[in-house]
A and B are shown apart, each in its own frame.
Chain A
Amino acid sequence: MIVRRIVRWFDERLGAARFVRTALNKVFPDHWSFMLGELALYSFVILILTGVYLTFFFTPGTKEVVYNGSYAPLKGVSMSQAYESVLRISFDVRAGLVMRQIHHWAALIFVGSIIAHLMRIFFTGAFRRPRELNWMIGVTLLLLAIANGFTGYSLPDDQLSGTGLRIMYSVVISVPVVGVWSAFLVFGGEFPGNEVLTRFFVIHILIVPAAIAILLSAHLAILVRQKHTQFRGPARKERNVVGARLWPTFTAKTLGLFFFVFAVCALLGGLAQINPVWIWGPFQPAAVSAGSQPDWYVGWLEGSLRLLPGWELRAFGHEVPNPFFSGVLLPGITFMLLYAWPFLEGRFTKENREEHHLLDRPRDRPVRTAIGVGALAFYAVLFVAGGNDVLASRFNVSVNLITNILRVSLFVVPAAAAFFTYRLCKELAARSPTAGEPEAPAGAELVVRSPEGGYVDVEEPARTP
């Protein structure tokens, strides 16, 4: 009764009952891989919640102060206000450290789930017409997430983040013509610059999160307008969506997922130490330690900086220095290809003349799947190269040998991975004769070991709806 009255009150003022009812009945197809985007959404919510708390205590200042907090080893050490306030959050603000660590873990999960979501969309062809726009918004969100991760871990002004900033500054000044000016405008002068922390703070807590929130809303609005894609299966057609309704079943399920994501972040934040800046120490420009690695999602860029041999361009009294190729050109090409992929593929397959709402199985698109796996292998090798010094000391071999092996692997491994994937797709597709038919049952193959010791393929009976 009370619900009816509240509904009446709002409806008399907004006239929204019919619209909201349609929204409540929206159908969500059920597949585990559809949760990856939700993971990203929920880690963003956790980032906002914990991040707002941290802003109440963080000071983005470069002014030198002498530490006098409760962490004994650094007592009397002179450091920036920023670093001092991070120590205060970690040791003297009650619940501060757990908030900080949940925030950092959630950031790692945020970027990770965006990339996993992107891979799901890529390998199932969910980016095809009419979803090219949402694909491009998603790629932009990935870019923004990486940017916010980098600005975020630069803020504490510890030794590690200072090293990261120094490298970023060098990459910016490597840009032809405008590089040096851009770096001076961003850093407020020559490195280390007095302004960079204040600016990164504004970028990190306002500009990028606002952009993410706006684009995320657009991402979801377009999703609702276009409705979900779905895998092939009984009764699933291009012209319908089969699944659970938003209200109440899907709401309960997705709330459950939200709380699970938050629970995992809380557990990690409480038990797994992350970025212990008090061990790195305050930033000193003349110091650096071996084993300086960025957060994982910047690892591929770190690796490309390490793998590229000493090449650069010099002509007419100008030069394009080495970090430009590994730090600007490579990520530039990477994201251009990501943005362009739906159109590139559409041009080659001529499939963009009609809408696609049923998803591909990766095996049914061997070329796309092989290209995707090859690209992943390429970035995986770069990521490994970002830790070449760690590998060298762990396995007690020369870092030069590891680097040379990885330089070769950067081309060999992706080619091999792509070839192997292509063959595997062909093989799998050949063994599932129902592939490609819209009404295909969700059949799977099993390899069963017989009592005599041989192996036989057994086709699992199709599940009935």
Chain B
Amino acid sequence: MNDEVQERQEKKATSRTALAFGITALASIGLAVTYWFGGQEQIEGSLLAVALGGLGFGFVQVAKHLLPQGPYVEDREALPSSDEDEAAFAADFEQGEGWLSRRGFLLKMLGLAGGAIGIAALFPIRSLGPNPGQSLFRTKWRRGSLVVDEQGEPVAVDTLDVGGALTVFPEGHLEVEDSQTILIRLSREDVVTRPGRELWGPEGYVGFSKVCTHAGCPVGLYQQQFKKLLCPCHQSTFSVPDGAQPTFGPATRSLPQLPLMVDDEGMLRARSDYTEPVGPGFWDRGT
């Protein structure tokens, strides 16, 4: 490439760069004006992109056409230090280390002190949270808790038609995560989902914990046709007439069933709390 061609190319690159920087300046003014008149995110984003793109284009032009291209060669010296340097370092270090190792008792006491202060410093971590205690084993449901829907309205025997489903809570504890229960009406007769649960499903109403036994998402989708509950997070599927036993997906355990009864006024109430922990498994769950 002769000098004349190169000069012409440099000139072109210079004017391209100048143009790009000019566009940046204009777009920046536009950005300020947009902001001043109330802002609009599509225009802001686009103008900012043009402004920054102009700078980017300009700098790349400069790098590619106006600055020395090389290639430059740099020697790579060996990484390890020379043997003398390494030995000198070791000697210097051992001055201190030797002093310490000759005083084994002091070193042990230092270890004791360091360990003690380290352990003491861990104690405040305990302030971060309460003792789990029984909180994973109990919910807000109690014997006689009135069943209410998400608006706090009590649920009567005729609230749901057969095939209907409703998210319910114990009265006074709306939106409490571990107490959310899905109430389903299966038929007009009492429903027994498992031996031992003869009295839990009055008038076809069955209640199951809505907290998935896999990873705790609300098991929100009731497929009326198949009488199945589906968790939208990881697709665990539970068969309602069989005591919400898992039939597909990662869940390993049935959804716990809430024992229900109908009181003298025809309102649904809980017979008791859930008889097992709700939600995902944990080490001490005690299966």
In the complex, the answer to whether B45 meets A240 with C-beta atoms within 8 Å is: no
In the complex, the answer to whether A101 meets B45 with C-beta atoms within 8 Å is: yes
| Of listed B57, B64, B73, B178, residue having the most chain A CB within 10 A | B73
Q: Contacts A170-B215, A240-B74, A259-B55; is A286 near B232 (CB within 8 Å)? A: no
B250 at the interface (CB under 8 A from A): yes
Q: Report Cα–Cα, A198/B286, bound state, in Å.
A: 33
Residues of B with C-beta under 8 A to A268:
45
Q: Report Cα–Cα, A27/B69, bound state, in Å.
A: 12
In the complex, the answer to whether A259 meets B52 with C-beta atoms within 8 Å is: yes
A328 → chain B, closest Cβ, in Å? 12
A408 at the interface (CB under 8 A from B): no
B158 at the interface (CB under 8 A from A): no
In the complex, the answer to whether B128 meets A388 with C-beta atoms within 8 Å is: no
- Interface 9-mer from A147-155, A313-321, A366-374, A428-436: A313-321
A211 → chain B, closest Cβ, in Å? 19
Q: Report Cα–Cα, A189/B150, bound state, in Å.
A: 24
Residues of A with C-beta under 8 A to B280:
170, 173-174, 321, 323
Q: Contacts A179-B282, A270-B48; is A310 near B249 (CB within 8 Å)? A: yes
With both beta carbons as reference points, the residue of chain B lying nearest to A102 in the complex is identified as B45
> 1/0 per residue A154-173: CB within 8 Å of B?
00000000010011011101
Q: Report Cα–Cα, A181/B283, bound state, in Å.
A: 11
In the complex, the answer to whether A245 meets B45 with C-beta atoms within 8 Å is: no
In the complex, the answer to whether B220 meets A257 with C-beta atoms within 8 Å is: no
Interface residues of A in 253-270 (CB under 8 A from B): 253, 255-260, 262-264, 266-270
In the complex, the answer to whether A171 meets B218 with C-beta atoms within 8 Å is: no
Q: Report Cα–Cα, A175/B149, bound state, in Å.
A: 34
A292 at the interface (CB under 8 A from B): yes
Q: Report Cα–Cα, A336/B129, bound state, in Å.
A: 30
> 1/0 per residue B71-113: CB within 8 Å of A?
1111110010000000000000000000000000000000000
In the complex, the answer to whether A167 meets B217 with C-beta atoms within 8 Å is: yes
- Interface 9-mer from A7-15, A55-63, A108-116, A301-309: A301-309
Residues of B with C-beta under 8 A to A30:
71
Residues of A with C-beta under 8 A to B41:
95, 97-98, 101, 269-270
| Of listed A267, A268, A388, residue having the most chain B CB within 10 A | A267
A107 → chain B, closest Cβ, in Å? 16
In the complex, the answer to whether A264 meets B49 with C-beta atoms within 8 Å is: yes
Q: Contacts A101-B41, A184-B130, A259-B59; is A305 near B69 (CB within 8 Å)? A: no
With both beta carbons as reference points, the residue of chain B lying nearest to A388 in the complex is identified as B235
B242 at the interface (CB under 8 A from A): no
A73 at the interface (CB under 8 A from B): no
| Of listed B48, B176, B285, residue having the most chain A CB within 10 A | B48
In the complex, the answer to whether B215 meets A171 with C-beta atoms within 8 Å is: yes
With both beta carbons as reference points, the residue of chain A lying nearest to B48 in the complex is identified as A266
Residues of B with C-beta under 8 A to A213:
none
Interface residues of A in 172-187 (CB under 8 A from B): 173-177, 179-181, 184-187
Q: Report Cα–Cα, A321/B281, bound state, in Å.
A: 5
Residues of A with C-beta under 8 A to B287:
314, 317, 319
Q: Report Cα–Cα, A180/B283, bound state, in Å.
A: 8
Residues of B with C-beta under 8 A to A266:
45-46, 48-49, 52
A277 at the interface (CB under 8 A from B): no
In the complex, the answer to whether A191 meets B55 with C-beta atoms within 8 Å is: no
Residues of B with C-beta under 8 A to A291:
232
A45 → chain B, closest Cβ, in Å? 12
In the complex, the answer to whether B56 meets A403 with C-beta atoms within 8 Å is: no
B42 at the interface (CB under 8 A from A): yes
B33 at the interface (CB under 8 A from A): no
A290 at the interface (CB under 8 A from B): yes
Q: Report Cα–Cα, A309/B39, bound state, in Å.
A: 51
Residues of B with C-beta under 8 A to A310:
214, 236, 246, 249-252
A94 → chain B, closest Cβ, in Å? 4
> 1/0 per residue B38-66: CB within 8 Å of A?
11011111101111110111111011100
With both beta carbons as reference points, the residue of chain B lying nearest to A317 in the complex is identified as B286
B5 → chain A, closest Cβ, in Å? 19
Q: Contacts A256-B60, A259-B59; is A180 near B132 (CB within 8 Å)? A: yes
In the complex, the answer to whether A256 meets B76 with C-beta atoms within 8 Å is: no
In the complex, the answer to whether A270 meets B35 with C-beta atoms within 8 Å is: no
A70 at the interface (CB under 8 A from B): no
B121 at the interface (CB under 8 A from A): no
> 1/0 per residue B221-258: CB within 8 Å of A?
10000000000111111000000001011111000000
Residues of A with C-beta under 8 A to B120:
none
In the complex, the answer to whether B132 meets A181 with C-beta atoms within 8 Å is: yes
B151 at the interface (CB under 8 A from A): no
Residues of B with C-beta under 8 A to A185:
125-126, 128-129
In the complex, the answer to whether B221 meets A290 with C-beta atoms within 8 Å is: yes
Residues of A with C-beta under 8 A to B236:
310
A81 → chain B, closest Cβ, in Å? 17
In the complex, the answer to whether A179 meets B283 with C-beta atoms within 8 Å is: yes
In the complex, the answer to whether B59 meets A399 with C-beta atoms within 8 Å is: no
A163 → chain B, closest Cβ, in Å? 6
In the complex, the answer to whether B235 meets A389 with C-beta atoms within 8 Å is: yes
B264 at the interface (CB under 8 A from A): no
In the complex, the answer to whether B59 meets A174 with C-beta atoms within 8 Å is: no
B134 → chain A, closest Cβ, in Å? 11
Residues of B with C-beta under 8 A to A191:
177-178, 216
Q: Report Cα–Cα, A246/B196, bound state, in Å.
A: 78
Residue in A95, A260, A286 whose CB lies within 8 Å of B180: A286
Sorted nearest first, the 8 A-B pairs with minimum C-beta distance are A270-B45, A321-B281, A256-B59, A259-B56, A256-B60, A267-B49, A253-B63, A263-B52
**Assuming A180-B282, A266-B46, what are 17 further A-B pairs, CB within 8 angstroms?**
A26-B74, A95-B44, A166-B216, A171-B215, A180-B283, A186-B129, A189-B129, A225-B79, A244-B71, A248-B67, A253-B63, A266-B45, A266-B49, A268-B45, A286-B218, A322-B281, A389-B232
Selected A-B contacts with CB under 8 Å, 18 pairs: A166-B216, A170-B280, A174-B280, A188-B128, A190-B136, A195-B129, A235-B73, A239-B75, A249-B69, A253-B64, A259-B56, A267-B46, A287-B220, A311-B252, A319-B283, A321-B282, A399-B235, A400-B237
